Amino acid sequence: MPRDLASKLSNELRQESAAIPGQAVALIDDQANKTSYVVGEEFLFQGLEHDEVSRDRLLALLREGDAGPEVSREEGFVRMRAKIDQFNDKSV
38-78 pLDDT, tens digit each: 888 888 787 777 788 888 878 877 777 666 665 667 877 88
Average pLDDT (5-17) is 85
Same structural domain, 29 and 55:
no
Contact assessment for residue 37 and residue 25, using Cβ atoms and an 8 Å cutoff: yes
Q: Please report, as a single letter, which amino acid is at residue 88.
A: N
- 38 and 70 inside one domain: no
DSSP state of 70: S
User: Alpha-carbon dihedral of residues 56, 61, 62, 63, nearest 10 degrees?
Assistant: 90
C-beta separation of 53 from 45 below 8 A: no
Residue 74 per-residue DSSP state: H
> Could you tell me if 56 and 77 lie in one domain?
yes
The structural domain count of the chain equals 2
Both 65 and 91 in a single domain? Answer: yes
Q: Is a pLDDT exceeding 80 seen at residue 81?
A: yes
